Amino acid sequence: MKLRCIAIDDEPLALKQLQAYVEKTPFLELAGLCSNAFAAMKMISEQPPELLFVDINMPELNGVDFVRSLSGSEMVIFTTAYSEYALEGFQVSAVDYLLKPISYADFLKAATKAQQLASLKRGQVASLSPSDDDYLFVKSEYKTVRIPLSEVEYVEGMKEYVCLHLSGKQNVTTLLSMKALEEKLPADKFIRIHRSFMVNLSKITAIERQRVVIGKEYLPVGEQYSTIFFKRVGEKMV
């Protein structure tokens, strides 16, 4: 399966080179080219890609700030002519960092890392039980763990990972996106309340303003999720 990718750079020649490299790489599929971060935001919202090639030094909104504004499910490979930006790029969990002028060998090496990470993610999704809503299987620390859904209090997203917070047990962390896990969990039992949090409705002990209380934990309700969440809560109001 090919990785759908978008290249973002304000330099036309750099975009042309990335386009040529992507088209030369069998496991990549070019979904679009963008000359600035704002055009990329629109394209991503319409057809979310799996991989982004992002120039760091762009006008108005630089590549690092642009990536920080995203949901976190996209893999990112930064490109730039300035080596001093490398550390900043890795601080936002980039797959790799390419220094211009970019050779195809370096490009292929970085793209292969993204392909391997994507394969691992897809394997994690496949490991979830598709036929039984009472439990799921999750790969964590070189083993596959069976987790009853009744034990999951809430899920916390951490870039490429999710942490399942369990009742009276040690939390389980796995390499998986929030979106992928959300698609597998039963919608009548779990609901997304924030870009970083999904909760088990049966574990909510209270709601205080824009926060959900689960035991001693206070979880924020994000603005884009609040309407659906409070509508669900309202269905149980007496």
What are the structural domain ranges in the chain?
Answer: 3-125, 128-234
For 230, the enclosing helix (H) or strand (E) is helix 223-234
Q: What is the pLDDT of residues 1-58, one digit of tens each?
A: 789 999 999 999 999 999 999 999 999 999 999 999 999 999 998 888 999 999 998 8
Q: What is the structure's pLDDT at 123?
A: 58
CA distances for 37 relative to 6, 7, 20, angstroms: 11, 10, 21
Cβ contact 41:88 at 8 Å: no
Cβ count within 10 A of residue 216? 6
Give residue for tokens 């990785």: 3
The pair phi, psi for residue 2, each rounded to 5°, is: -80, 150
Residue 172: the pLDDT is 92
Band (85; pLDDT cuts 50, 70, 90): low
Mean per-residue pLDDT over the chain, rounded: 86
The pLDDT of residue 73 is above 80: no
- DSSP codes of every residue in 126-195: HHS-SS-TTEEEEEETTEEEEEEGGGEEEEEEETTEEEEEETTS--EEEE--HHHHHHHS-TTTEEEEET
What superfamily in CATH does domain 128-234 come from? LytTr DNA-binding domain (2.40.50.1020)
Q: What is the pLDDT of residues 164-174, one digit of tens each?
A: 999 988 999 99
Which of 91 and 221 is assigned the larger pLDDT? 221
pLDDT value at residue 6: 96
The mean-pLDDT minimum among 12-16, 53-57, 194-198, 234-238 falls in: 234-238
Within 13 Å and on the Cβ side, how many CA atoms surround 164? 29
Encoded tokens for 27: 């496991």
pLDDT at 221 over 80: yes
d(CA 10, CA 102): 16
Q: Which residues pair with 146 in a beta bridge?
A: 137
| pLDDT(238) > 70 | no
Q: Are 77 and 114 in contact (CB under 8 A)?
A: yes
Pick the CATH number of 3-125 from 3.40.50.2300, 3.40.50.720, 3.30.230.70, 3.40.50.300: 3.40.50.2300
Residues 94-146 pLDDT 10s = 788 899 999 999 999 999 888 888 877 665 544 454 444 588 888 887 788 88
Confidence at residue 83, expressed as pLDDT on a 0 to 100 scale: 64
